[in-house]
Structure 1
Amino acid sequence: MSPAARMWSAVDSLRWSEGVGLGLLQGVVGGVFGIGGSSIGTPLLRMLLDTPPLVALGTPLPLTVPSSIAAAAAYRRRGMVNWRAVRWTAPVAAPAAAAGAVSTRWVPTQLVMMLVALTLLLAAAQLWRRQSGAQPRPDLFGSSGVSARPWALASVGVLVGAASGLLANAGGFLLVPAYVWLLRARVREAAATALCCAPFIALPGIVVHGLLGHIDPSLALQLAIGAVAGSVLGARLSLRFQAIRLRRPFAVLLLAFGIYFSMRVLNSTS
């Protein structure tokens, strides 16, 4: 093998290791907190790999399907998924996600990047403010058998779907706080249910963003390889440790990351 070929092989191996490593990190975060997609992957791709903005936005989206399925399976075995909430949220979120993804044709790229940064800050606030001792309402996850109102779950699905399509996200960054704040579900139960909704929200976005040229197939494969293993590991960590032990340290890290990424985006517009 010539020196040039060896150098190219080394560079290619480094790129693959970087992509798989980023996918592993994203999978762990998604498995523990139900947060993934553009809220984590896009800033990492922009800052670490200098990926073009819209490609960085769309490329992490395909990996949410295998990673969310793998993590949701771990939660399902523990009986932590509310399937009725999934049935009322996912079907209406899917077409809304397609519409949100189409809107990226007209929304300014820098505005989309600022919205991605905002999701980081919102996710950090959600993780920090959740009180460990709060109990869920019986209408969603309680033992009384009374279910949440369908219109409330469907409304959440429409809003989350539209935002997720625009931001190339599977919806966890909004579904988890929606289930926690509005329906008072426990964090892990909300994350488990959000992960089960994720494939249905992500698939329309994948199709639309792919048609718009926002997905790099090679990079998406690298991310997916790491994300599947990371999501299983993240789900197991969440089930093993108390949520408060993981939540607040990560919230601080996520806040710092969000502020830094926001400054990067603002500097690029000046």
Structure 2
Amino acid sequence: MIDSTLEAAGFVAVGIATGLLSGTLGVGGGFILVPLLTLLDVPLHQAIGTSLAFIAIVALAGGLRHFRQSTADPLLAGSLVLAGALFAQVGARVGDATDEVLLSFVFAAILVAVAVWFYLGPDPEDAPPRAVPAGTAKERGLRLRYERERSVPGRAEPLRYVVDLRKSAGVGALVGFTSGLLGTGGGFLMVPMLVLVLAIPLTVAIGTDLFGVVVTAASGVVAHLALGNVVGDVLLAAVPGGMVAAVVGARLSTRLSQSTLRTAFLAVLVIGACKLLFDGISGL
């Protein structure tokens, strides 16, 4: 697939850029990586499979860093992953049977919808933590809601929020299906849903999503490997720089305000949507 040193350098640069975004914003980076790979002449279905493999490896590096600095919640990540891993394989099968032009339009439409939703939603810094209603902490002998508190570098006060395992499993299933369908880690959808639906602080949403994306993306990779959609030499060129950049991005995320992270997240969504919309129109 890689025919020249210049091409290899292009894939290395793409890996570094995507890894930095991944660690900083908590996204797998597929919604940026897929368009960039297609720009480098990788067919869309192979770009999707390769991006999922890249995400699974690079997100692990960034996710571990987030975990060490307390910006990833393992309980929340686990509940997201269980449903997400199953539905990612379903999404991968549906995506492989779908026309590439249609995939581009669907991907662009989802990005636009998520951007508008995230923009119009409440500011994460202003959203008060949700209290656990009396009498609902346990159901049928299983504890389903947990009050959480995490001390995060750069913040004087600990972050407090509630994890509802039923809601988080539903979010994980939806994002997992989207991950397999579109070849992303699902972070572009997961982060806004964690903030707006589950009232998780943005800083924790970013780290938790990246930590959980590893399993969800890896599950999708299994299906894409069977379909021959993972390009090995492209993956080898992009991954090393991406892993280092993801760790740097994870550290950077604790030094930026939530409003800055929110603005950066919106900008990336809009750019990704515009690129895929252009791809879809070009393919008509």
1:238 offset after TM fit, Å?
1.0
Q: Which amino acid aligns with 1:241?
A: L
TM normalised by structure 2 equals 0.82
1:36 aligned to 2:28?
yes
Cα 1:88–1:260, aligned 2, differ >3 Å: closer, same or farther? closer
Partner of 1:80: 71
**1:133 aligned to which of 121, 125, 132:** 125
Distance 2:95 2:112 in 1: 21
The percentage of counterpart residues that share the same residue type is 27
Distance 1:173 1:237 in 2: 19
Quick check: which one's strand share is greater? Answer: 2
Cα 1:145–1:181, aligned 2, differ >3 Å: closer, same or farther? closer
Cα deviations by residue, 1:2-54 (Å, 9 ceiling, x for unpaired) = xxxxxxx9x6221111101001111111111122343110111122x122111
Partner of 1:205: 220
Paired residues of 1:30 and 1:68 also in contact (CA < 8 A): yes
Paired residues of 1:82 and 1:141 also in contact (CA < 8 A): no
Structure 1 window deviating more from structure 2 (99-108 vs 248-257): it is 248-257
Partner of 2:100: 109
Equivalent residue runs for 1:154-165 within 5 Å? 154-165=169-180
Cα RMSD over matched residues?
A: 2.5
Quick check: which one's helix share is greater? Answer: 1
3-state DSSP of counterpart to 1:79: coil
Cα 1:85–1:246, aligned 2, differ >3 Å: closer, same or farther? closer
Paired residues of 1:75 and 1:81 also in contact (CA < 8 A): yes
Partner of 2:244: 229
3-state DSSP of counterpart to 1:183: coil
Distance 2:23 2:118 in 1: 14
Paired residues of 1:134 and 1:186 also in contact (CA < 8 A): no
1:132 offset after TM fit, Å?
5.1
Distance 1:158 1:39 in 2: 19
Paired residues of 1:80 and 1:189 also in contact (CA < 8 A): yes
**2:49 aligned to which of 45, 58, 79:** 58
1:264 aligned to 2:279?
yes
Q: Which amino acid aligns with 2:95?
A: T
Partner of 1:251: 266
Q: Which amino acid aligns with 2:106?
A: L
1:119 offset after TM fit, Å?
4.2
1:249 offset after TM fit, Å?
4.9
Paired residues of 2:101 and 2:279 also in contact (CA < 8 A): no
Residue correspondences, number: 259
Which residues of structure 1 form unaligned runs of 5+?
A: 1-8
Runs of 4+ aligned residues of structure 1 deviating over 6 Å after TM superposition are: none
Partner of 1:20: 12
TM normalised by structure 1 equals 0.86
